[in-house]
Amino acid sequence: MLLFNQLQTYLYLALVLFAIGLYGVLARRNLIAVLISIELILNAASINFMAFNRFLAPHPAVGQVITLFIMAVAAAEAAIALSIIVAVYRKLKTVNIEEATELRG
Amino acid sequence: MNPLSSFFSPQAVASVAFVMVVGLTIVGALIAVAARNIFHNVLGLAASLLGVSGLFLYLNSPFVALMEILIYVGAICIAICFAIMLSEPLHLPRPPRNKTKLLGAMVGAGAAFVFMALLVKKTKWIPAVERSKDWSITTIGHYLLTNYALIFELVSLLLLVAMLGAIVTARGGRGKP
């Protein structure tokens, strides 16, 4: 059985990508770095959809359609997040999440 | 079959290329979260996304692989580069990292990884009884315009709203302080 013809390979790979992204979200303090980590997590989800689509699903077009939707939503999310980051930088002169504490009670 | 031709058999070449694609994905992801320079993070993200599009090629979907390169590498990474240029200058001194926080993040991510790896190992994955062999792009187009037409339209509306929202959020205050 070849390595790239097994469902488990792709699932573990997506899991590694998810864990790396989760670490980035938890550990980084730069807002843009947090956004980059979120993109990694979304990609892990896409790999999972495509792997299930390739190995399990009854019709192979469905997983591809859903992956395309994930990409579109990720693009919208990135546009909004980046504009918020630029606005935050303009207001607070920092993109560090530990210094942007205006809402603290 | 002599050893040289078995070394260059399609399976062997495909396996070596697969290992390289996986390596590109994981190393790129590590650079994307671990490097201190935010610009290196973006380059690592681009490398990782190229690797993911290679994986999509291995999963029989060249169309989605091309879309991955076009949307993620071509659009999102470039947009992040613009945001970096518009925000903090790179030469400023950065506060030192908090070791406890890094350790906590590592433990949290590791726990999630172990839990889900056990889940993947334990589950029995059963393929659908009857699987269609239709991988053509035409079918994807048909699905987008019939079964998933509503979601397709909703996504286009979402992109429009995101575009307008991004303009409104980022524009304000060029003249104001």
Q: How far apart are CA A90 and CA B95, in angstroms?
A: 20
- pLDDT tens by residue, B4-31: 677 788 888 999 999 999 999 999 999 9
- The predicted structure's pLDDT at residue B2: 64
Which of B26, B64, B176 is most worth mutating to test chain A (most A CB atoms within 10 A of its CB)? B64
- The predicted structure's pLDDT at residue B46: 96
Residues of B in contact with A53 (CB under 8 A): 59, 61
Q: Which residues contact B26 (CB under 8 A, 6 or more apart)?
A: A13, A16, A17, A20, B48, B51
Residue A49: in which H helix or E strand, if any?
Answer: helix A31-55
Using only the alpha carbons of chain B, give its radius of gyration.
Answer: 22
Q: Comparing B97 with B117, which gets the higher pLDDT?
A: B117
**Shortest Cα distance from B113 to chain A (angstroms)?**
6
Report the chain B residue with the minimal C-alpha distance to residue A28: B33
Q: Which residues contact A3 (CB under 8 A, 6 or more apart)?
A: A9, B15, B18, B19
Q: Which residues contact B11 (CB under 8 A, 6 or more apart)?
A: A2
Q: Which residues contact B106 (CB under 8 A, 6 or more apart)?
A: A23, A27
Helix (H, G, I), strand (E, B) or coil at A96: strand
CB contact under 8 A, B148 and A65: yes
The DSSP output letter for B123 is: S
Q: State how far the alpha carbon of A75 is from the alpha carbons of A55, B37, B76, B107, B159, in Å.
A: 27, 23, 7, 30, 8
Average pLDDT in the B66-82 region?
Answer: 93
CB contact under 8 A, A27 and B105: yes
**pLDDT grade for B67, boundaries at 50, 70 and 90:** very high
- pLDDT tens by residue, B35-61: 988 999 999 999 999 999 999 999 999
Residue A30: in which H helix or E strand, if any?
Answer: none
Could you give the count of Cα atoms lying within 13 Å of B109 in the half-sphere of its Cβ? 23
Quote the ipTM score: 0.92
Task: Give the distance from CA B96 to its chain's centroid.
Answer: 29
Rounded to two decimals, what is the model's pTM? Answer: 0.90
CB contact under 8 A, A15 and B113: yes
CB contact under 8 A, B116 and A18: yes
Instruction: Tell me: pLDDT of A93 over 90.
Output: no
Tokens read off for B103: 């350790």
